Structure 1
Amino acid sequence: MAKLLLEDNSIYHDLSDIEREITPVGMQLRHFDPGSALLFPDLPNQDMLADTQKREILELHNSLFEFLKQEGGFLWNDLLVLHPGSPNLQTLITTYSRYHTHNAPEAYYVLAGEAIIGLLKPDGSQLQLLMEAQDYLHIPTEVEHWFSPSATLHFKAVRYFANVEGWVPQYTGTKMSNL
């Protein structure tokens, strides 16, 4: 279940508390399990996934994808698999770990591992949301945020896209606070 760190070092574990803090910018956090944990019990321990495994995982989430597609206007999805040996890990961290926006919504459904989303609220305060397995996060268009895998460098998620370009970051220059 997700955890939220505020600038005053308060930590929220309760979904309703987290939602209260992220709702002002339109972000949505949900927690549910469509069966991934039961059907793919070794998923958290696997660094590499075969293409057939990736297809099976995406097929399982297609029913979820249809619901999300209608709700969020998503056109397609893919599977993001990060681990310490990922060939594009440093590029991904460099690209997304600075404050940026996107011209389309961004959404993740976390299958395994964890990642951190930093968020700039309208009042200028900053938050850090630790996403974990079974968390779904929707970030609306133009919301200022950053993304990074946690220190474990293990993260598997279904990503949802509303345009063919994917998530092209538009950097804002906002400095990250020292949470």
Structure 2
Amino acid sequence: MSRLTIYSDVSNAEAAAIPLQESNDPAEITGLLSDRGIGFERWPLRPELPEGAGPEAVLEAYAGEIERVQATGSFPTVDAIRLGPDHPDRVALRQKFLDEHTHGEDEVRFFVEGRGLFCLHIGAEVLQVLCEQGDFLRVPAGTRHWFDMGSAPRFSALRFFDNPEGWVATFTGDSIAERYPLLD
């Protein structure tokens, strides 16, 4: 189940771990994130898509939604990725994504399977969005954030890009992610 947890941005790790607000209600999550400029939607799942489907099948199954997102004119490139607990680079990838960073473009993801934890550092708050199957998240360019896929990642996602090079990050050097709960 999708979950939003809001924390204060504080330097004390004990205080940082105390949530200010939590919600599992998709409508409330959508509203709270929208108030902060973050897009969140629940997309219908494709029951005809078997678990473990390859990238081509995922792209085909969600062609209508992809077309709708691309119609905004911002995302000419889309791909489907899959990361499992046996991925040889999972430890290095997790560590890289756990470092706070920004992007020069919106970060847009749709979770086809599994889950991942997006952590957004907005003003004096840290918002943790546990995205699960069926969740679409749009994080505006320049938003400080990090992502935790867990120690045994298991997800498939659509990624939308403005930049044909794909995922390009500017790391902030802030160790803020160390003060907040991780996925597992």
Shorter-chain TM-score range: 0.7 to 0.9
Q: Does 2:64 match 1:63?
A: yes
Is the contact made by 1:105 and 1:138 (CA closer than 8 Å) also made in structure 2?
Answer: yes
Q: Secondary structure at the match of 2:105?
A: coil
Would the aligned equivalents of 2:107 and 2:138 in 1 still touch at CA under 8 Å? yes
The yes-or-no answer on 1:128 pairing with 2:139 is: no
Tell me by how many angstroms 1:151 deviates: 4.9
Q: Answer yes or no: is 1:113 the counterpart of 2:122.
A: no
Q: 1:25: how far off?
A: 3.8
The answer on 1:148 being equivalent to 2:153 is no
**Aligned-partner residue type, residue 34 of structure 2:** T
Q: Distance in 2 between matches of 1:22 and 1:165?
A: 28
Q: Any gaps of 5 or more consecutive residues in structure 2?
A: 8-17
CA distance 1:110–1:29, shift in 2 (3 Å): same
The number of residue pairs the alignment matches comes to 168
1:148 & 1:67 partners in 2: Cα distance? 28
1:111-133 Cα offsets, whole Å, 9 max, x none, are 111100001122x2112110000
CA gap of 1:173–1:21, structure 2 versus 1, over 3 A, is farther
TM-score by length of 2: 0.83
Q: Say if 2:91 and 2:151, in contact at 8 Å, map to a contact too.
A: no
Match of 1:30 among 41, 49, 52: 41
Q: Whole-Å Cα distance in 2 between the matches of residues 116 and 75 of structure 1?
A: 25
Structure 2 Cα separation of the partners of residues 73 and 152 of structure 1: 32
Q: Taking every aligned residue pair, what percent have the same amino acid on both sides?
A: 26
Aligned pairs (5 A) from 1:157-172: 157-172=157-172
Contiguous gaps of at least 5 residues in structure 1: none
Instruction: State the 4+ residue runs in structure 1 displaced beyond 4 angstroms.
Output: none
What secondary structure sits across from 2:79 in the alignment? strand
What displacement does 1:161 show? 0.7
Q: What is aligned with 2:180?
A: 178
Contact 1:79–1:157 (CA under 8 A) maintained in structure 2:
yes
Aligned-partner Cα distance in 1 for 2:73–2:108:
9
Taking structure 1 as the reference length, what is the TM-score of the superposition? Answer: 0.85
Aligned to 2:86: 85
SS at match of 1:156: strand
CA RMSD of aligned residues (A): 1.8
Tell me if structure 2 keeps the 8 A contact 1:25–1:143: no
